[in-house]
């Protein structure tokens, strides 16, 4: 869902999947935003280290990292 569509529907909370970047030694957010926490986790299919972030009107909350093998 595009940002303007999300605003039009009044959805203020979304989730981002971030992938660990060894080169920069940090997490790098993906371009896509998800409406559901569980669906964001299911999109992490390649082996690696990931983190989900919840973005709300109040700010951003990063959840603990997890690994996919």
**Residues linked to residue 37 through DSSP beta bridges, in sequence order:** none
For 2, 9, 41, 42, 49, the CA distances from 46, given in Å and listed in that order, are 24, 32, 12, 11, 9
**Non-local CB neighbours of 67 within 8 Å, separated by 6+ positions:** 47, 48, 49, 50
10-14, 15-19, 22-26 — which is least confidently predicted?
10-14
- Asked whether residue 66 carries a pLDDT value surpassing 80, the answer given is yes
The values of phi and psi at residue 45, to 5°, are -110, -25
Which residues share a beta bridge with 53?
Answer: 16, 62
pTM score? 0.85
Is residue 15 a contact partner of residue 53, using CB atoms and an 8 Å limit? yes
């Amino acid at each position: 869902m595009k940002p303007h569509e999300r605003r039009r529907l009044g959805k203020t909370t979304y989730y981002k999947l971030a992938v660990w970047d060894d080169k920069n030694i940090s997490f790098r957010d993906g371009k896509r935003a998800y409406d559901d926490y569980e669906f964001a986790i299911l999109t992490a299919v390649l082996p690696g280290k990931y983190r989900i972030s919840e973005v709300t009107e109040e700010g951003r909350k990063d959840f603990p990292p997890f690994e996919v093998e």
